[in-house]
Structure 1
Amino acid sequence: MAANLAILEATLAADQSTTNKIHVIDFDIGQGGQYKHLLRVLSTRQNGKPSVVKITTVPDNGGEERLRTVRQNLSQFAKEVGVGLEFNVVSQKLSELNRESLGCEPDEPIAVNFAFKLYSMPDESVSTDNPRDELLRRVKGLSPRVVTLVEQELNTNTAPFMARVNESCAYYGALLDSIEATVARDNPDRVKAEEALSRKFANSVACEGRDRVERCEVFGKWRARMGMAGFELRPMSQSMTESLRHRLTSGNRVHPSFTVKEENGGVCFGWISRTLTVASAWR
């Protein structure tokens, strides 16, 4: 939700009143749930002029069946809320990414979404090719209006083994505590979540080199990495933070131990005193 609000704030600014079209490039769209929220919010901001969202996803490998399902689900939802949707899948090597290959048109504002993506890409500590920084440089070359970054607040990249163990125990312990407090034990989704977290935890502490894909970094390191790639932080607005805080504090279904705060230009989401995820925007 934080990433979506940052995308809308940057692409539907006053100087963009001539177009209601947004082009979002996503490098790990997952099941597409984030974009249902984006489409719903856009449907309330059309001002009599239909909105069009173009989503271009760049998958790592395969997943054609899953992406077909994502396309069908999002297309159906877009039709229900009255927003136009163009959904494209572009399978390309990192070295081939450019505006033309991604179908970027001159008049459309571009947003690039990195939600839980960059942490799993090898960096200079793993490979001299450093695909993590190479992707950031390629994205900078697209001249996007905004780049949204959502990552876990956890250092499992270059930290030594014992530090990784302690950090991972504290982090995943807080996540499991939040699940224990908010999800019924007989909920089948809880079992899936706990199994997924156990795999992430095990990979964080038991694997090395390319076998360790859980290479999260804290926000301070992401700030430095984004800066080296030529990006400037686009601070989240106070109104956005307040909107997200309101969603977390209103209603009976939200547990009071969830927290949201603005810190160093990013929006931090946490459980009690532990920050779990940070969302930020860049230009």
Structure 2
Amino acid sequence: MERFTWPKFLSSSRKRAIQDLLPAQNPTKKLANVFDSHSQTSNDTGQPPFTEHLIVNILGSFSNTLSLSSSSQSNEVMQVPSNACIRSEVSEGSESINTPLSRKTSNIRTRLDQNLIDGRHQQRSSDQNPDLNSILPNNFPSDTSIFTNRFLEDSESIWSRKSLIEAATAISEDRTDVAWEILTRLSVSRNPKGIYSEQKLMEYMLSALKSRVSPVDNPPPVGELFTEDHLLSAQSLYELSPCFVVGFMAANHAILEAASEQPSTNKLHLIDFDIGLERQHQHLLYELSKRQAGNQSTLKITTLADGFNGKERLRMVGDRLSELAARMGVGLVFNVVSQKLSELSRDLLGCEADEVLAVNLAFKLYRMLDESVSLENPRDELLQRVKGLAPQVVTLVEQEMNGNTAPFKVRVGEALAYYGALLESIESSAPSKRARMEKGLSGKLRNLVACEGRDRVERCEVFGKWRARMEMAGFELKPVDTYGVVSVTKIVEGYPGHTVKEENGGVCLGWGGRTLTVASAWH
């Protein structure tokens, strides 16, 4: 072996450490070669690309170095140039071979060196990582913190939103083989994230992207969004999530304000296109009972049966609301009609001249097709028919997400941001009742990402687009009532982390700085 002179500034303990590292050069190079060969193959078995005897050999060589380094008080730093060569033990003839450090090998060694430094300060017992211990041999060194930390960091880097966006980018560029490779790697890797909501988000999005790439093996959710089970899941979201509950309350306040503008009558007629969300109507009955002042109010609710809300289920909702109204002393008339949009009229809906007419469109429009999918454009047709009814107020509550006509990659990014915030919100406000809500959210997210055309039910928009569509239909935005904003603000204060603000004529409800729902009133 070639002789050389030690630098004068190097301490004796540092020299011993370097000498002790020299025998590990060959195993380290072998380990790097295994990493290289593994990365060049597409046969990902989900197993770590190394063997036990190499790990034991390398870490065994490093054990003395750790003790020497930790006892050394020297602050010297020896830097290795990026173009340095390693001296190989293998020789041809009488000459040694100088092999340049490959970029990948250099990166591996840099990470190992950094872990050697950090390992002195971050000693962890092996029983803190039971999953890792289950795959290690019995004779593995007792101090496994260096390898463990690197393993967990690599797993966390795999399980990231960035990886999911990369898969979505590959799908949008028709590189399905690349997308499937990423998704397969995620599937066989464990998700080490400690935050529950983040774990669920990764799980839902992974499932959605797999359905997008391979719909035969992973059928996307289409029909299940119209089942009773999904309806109940959505109902639990609307009843327990503060951003949805308070959105309904803001809409009710606008309805009651419109009724107060006509004190000559105590009759309120509400046409609701999605009565399945009965929590809103329970709150409306409660508010009416408080405002009666000795003169009984009468609330007429007319709802339309469709493929999502059948007549029988709607009648059951009406029975429950009638019982509640009786206890509160409010007169209630509940009607279920079956009419096509083209047939809607004041006469068919039973509208009377002495009634205050209100139309509720809470979470209705986002599930209707528009001009990007259908020539008939059901969204605009519904708005035009509602405008023809000449209501005193129309309430609109929608999720704030660019998920309709946005490019696929943007849609995936929006879904990650929106549902990530929503899951965090649910975890904060209703952790013990989140199971059913999460099941509904999973179906909604998967449909948003995996489906296209008429199969895609989830078509959310941002408030700016809803505002433009309402204005094109001839509606004008009603000013946000200051008292209403103050009222809902007091309610939101009971849910830490949630926010409420007035913006562009809408009442915006959010979590962690992101708006999740927007309520607005029109006439």
TM-score range, shorter chain: over 0.9
Larger Rg: 2
Amino acid at match of 1:258: H
Query: Shift of residue 268 of structure 1?
Result: 0.3
Distance 2:281 2:471 in 1: 27
Between Structure 1 and Structure 2, the one with more strand by share is 1
Amino acid at match of 1:23: H
More off after superposition, 55-64 vs 217-226: 55-64
1:123 aligned residue (347, 366, 370): 370
Query: Shift of residue 64 of structure 1?
Result: 2.4
Q: Are 1:196 and 2:440 counterparts?
A: yes
Partner residue of 2:359? 112
Q: Deviations over 1:159-182 (max 9, x none)?
A: 010000000010000011111122
Distance 1:190 1:272 in 2: 19
Amino acid at match of 2:484: M
Query: Shift of residue 107 of structure 1?
Result: 1.3
Unaligned runs of 5+ in 1: none
Distance 1:50 1:182 in 2: 36
Matched residues, number: 274
Amino acid at match of 1:122: L
Query: Shift of residue 129 of structure 1?
Result: 0.2
Asked if the contact 2:267–2:355 (Cα under 8 Å) also holds between the matched residues in 1, the reply is yes
Identity %: 65
Q: Are 1:163 and 2:403 counterparts?
A: no
Partner residue of 1:267? 507
Distance 1:226 1:182 in 2: 33
Give SS of 2:361's match. Answer: strand
Distance 1:104 1:182 in 2: 40
Amino acid at match of 2:287: V
Partner residue of 2:384? 137
Partner residue of 1:220? 464
Structure 1 runs (4+) deviating above 6 angstroms are: none
Q: Deviations over 1:3-41 (max 9, x none)?
A: 10000001221xx22210100000011141111100111
Amino acid at match of 2:312: E
Q: How well do the aligned residues superpose, as a CA RMSD in angstroms?
A: 1.0
Distance 2:434 2:274 in 1: 23
Query: Shift of residue 282 of structure 1?
Result: 0.3
Distance 2:420 2:397 in 1: 20
Partner residue of 1:12? 260
Partner residue of 1:27? 273
Distance 1:59 1:169 in 2: 33
Q: Deviations over 1:153-207 (max 9, x none)?
A: 00111001000000001000001111112223xx3x4111001001111111111
Distance 1:97 1:126 in 2: 23
Normalised TM-score (structure 1): 0.95
Asked if the contact 1:153–1:276 (Cα under 8 Å) also holds between the matched residues in 2, the reply is yes
Partner residue of 2:63? none
Unaligned runs of 5+ in 2: 1-248
Partner residue of 1:279? 519
Give SS of 2:406's match. Answer: coil
Q: Deviations over 1:212-263 (max 9, x none)?
A: 11111000000100000000000221111011001111xxxx3310111110
Amino acid at match of 2:329: G
Asked if the contact 1:31–1:70 (Cα under 8 Å) also holds between the matched residues in 2, the reply is no
Q: Kindly report which structure 2 residues correspond to 1:223-238, keeping only aligned pairs within 5 A, or say none.
A: 223-238=467-482
Q: Deviations over 1:29-83 (max 9, x none)?
A: 1141111100111111112210000000012225223212211110000001100
Distance 1:38 1:157 in 2: 31
Between Structure 1 and Structure 2, the one with more helix by share is 2
Partner residue of 1:205? 449
